[in-house]
Amino acid sequence: MKPILNLFLMMFTLLAIILSVPFAVSEFTNNPVYIHPEFEQSFKEFRADAKRYKVEINVSKLVTIFSYNVNDTTAAFCVPKTKTVVVSMRIWETLNDNAKKALLYHEWGHCILRRNHVESGYSVFQCPSSIMHPYIDPMHLCYNKENQESYNRELFTNPHGFETFSRRKK
């Protein structure tokens, strides 16, 4: 019985080491652990926009994936503690390109920039004042070529001082 237990403990330890290597390398290089290929271009643009606004971002340990197991009313969600973004494949397939990019920027706003939802402030055309608005519905129309820059500026610079998540120690 003891040799089986030792073998189990050795295999468990080896598995833990193997699974932790991507996170350790990710933290060292400030690269995400995994970004689904469908999201890579938007992620490159997100990083470029952060740099343009002189915002240093920590994307280490970030994971962004698709799932079919998200409820029918949730387009995506972020788990800030693990820096994991889960995007509903069903809803993604119904969005236009503007809404897709807005959705990803919104979720990375939570996971990377630590931004909370912003429910206040609408423009004349009923567009939310922030990409951090909790509902995607208006974003397919609002996050367009004319408005994209102002949404991105607000996301990265937070000029209105909207609430952010508390910074926790690693």
DSSP annotation string for 37-72: GGGHHHHHHHHHHHHHTT-----TT-EEEEES-S-T
57 beta partners: none
Above 90 in pLDDT, residue 128? no
- pTM to 2 decimal places: 0.81
pLDDT at 24: 57
pLDDT at 17: 47
Dump pLDDT digits (tens) for 87-118: 999 999 999 999 999 999 999 999 999 999 98
Cβ–Cβ < 8 Å for 82, 62: no
Single out the residue of 113, 154, 153, 118 nearest to residue 134, CA to CA. 118
pLDDT at 153: 96
**E strands along 68-155, which residues?**
76-79, 84-88
Dump pLDDT digits (tens) for 12-27: 554 444 444 555 566 6
Cβ–Cβ < 8 Å for 80, 63: no
